[in-house]
Structure formats: C-alpha cells, structure tokens
Amino acid sequence: MSEHIFTGQEAALAYAICAERLYGQDGSFLNLNPSVIPIFVSQLFQSLEVSIKYAGIKSGLFTMDEARSRLKGAGHGIKELATFAVERLGGDPFEPIVMAITFSNDGKATSNDIIRKMIYGDELEETRRCYRSRRLGYAEVADGDFSIITPIPMWIETVKQTAANLQSTADILSQWKSSGSKSKHFAIWLKDR
C-alpha cells in the first residue's frame, strides 16, 4: 500500500478552503457564475465526509475498508457514515457525532446546527442524495436538487473549523470508545484534556 502525500485532515481542510476561495469576500464570483454553486456545495460536503472518515479511522472506530464497505450502494453518504460512527460509539443518532466533531469549533451552537443540517437535516435531504450520487459534484442538477445554508460565510467557517479540529475530534471519539460508561450522552466520560 502506498503512502499518501496528504493526510485525511489536510484533504478535509483543502476542500473547505477551496469552497472558501470560490465564495470569496462577498459571493460575487458565485453570483456571476451560478453553474459553480453546485460544485461549491459539493466541496463543503466533501470536506465533511472526509472529516468524519478521518476522525473515525484515526480514533479506531472503524477502518477505511469498513467505511467503504458500509457505504456500498450509498456512494459517499454522509448520513450513512455518521450513522456507522454513532453505532460504533453506542450513542443515539446523530448527536454524539455532531457534538464530537464540533467540540472545538467556535460558536458551538451555530456550528452544531450547521453540521446537524448537513448530516441529517430534512432541509438538506435532496442535497445529500445529490452529493451521494456525485451529481452535485458534476453539476448534474435540476431545480430542487440542492440547497444552501445561510449565512454562507458561517457555513464555510463551520466546515473549515471542523476539518481543522480533527485531532480533537479523534481524541474525543477515542476516549468515548475506550470508556467503560454505557452512557449514550456526549461528554459524561470526557476527561480533562
């Protein structure tokens, strides 16, 4: 097996940074080039997907092969991947993974809300389906196929911070996994860090 040049964390952060660059200072590039918007949204979902995979693998929740086999038929399903992680933790979907991956983010309440929407929110169900099938990344979309989260700068910042804080996420997931507690609630078992 060959070594990768970049880590999963670096890849997750790279997707978020690319989305940030597409948005620019004020979104004018996206406004002038609406065909780029599905690709912009896809970049944010790709970052979150890689973040969940990386944290799950780094913490020992699952292997890459397990994540891939779990997603067979689901493409790149963020909801399916998050479900797998929570099942391995023994928690109640989907709060454990949301809380773990946003633990070190600024503006936790807003950050939690954005990640919740991306993982399982009804308002982004079509967007997840479109992303999972890769139609979003190829801009093969029709009206109603995808949505955005506003304010967009906060969405970008949340996904970027989530990617930047993956070591913290992996530490939290590792502690939870090794904890003897049967609690299904986040942070009952969290040790001083």
Reference 156, options 100, 103, 118, 109; nearest CA is 118
Q: What is the pLDDT along the chain (193 residues), one digit of tens a residue?
A: 567 789 999 999 999 999 999 999 999 999 999 999 999 999 999 999 999 999 999 999 999 888 888 766 665 889 999 998 888 887 777 888 999 999 999 988 899 999 999 999 999 999 999 999 989 988 899 999 999 999 999 999 999 999 999 999 999 999 888 877 666 655 554 554 4
Reference 10, options 59, 38, 50, 65; nearest CA is 50
Quote the distance between the C-alpha of residue 107 and its chain's center.
Answer: 17
In this prediction the pTM is: 0.91
Enumerate the domain spans of the chain: 13-177
How many Cβ atoms sit within 10 Å of the Cβ of residue 3? 4
Distance from C-alpha of 62 to C-alpha of 50, rounded to nearest angstrom: 14
Running DSSP on this structure, what letter comes out for residue 192?
Answer: P
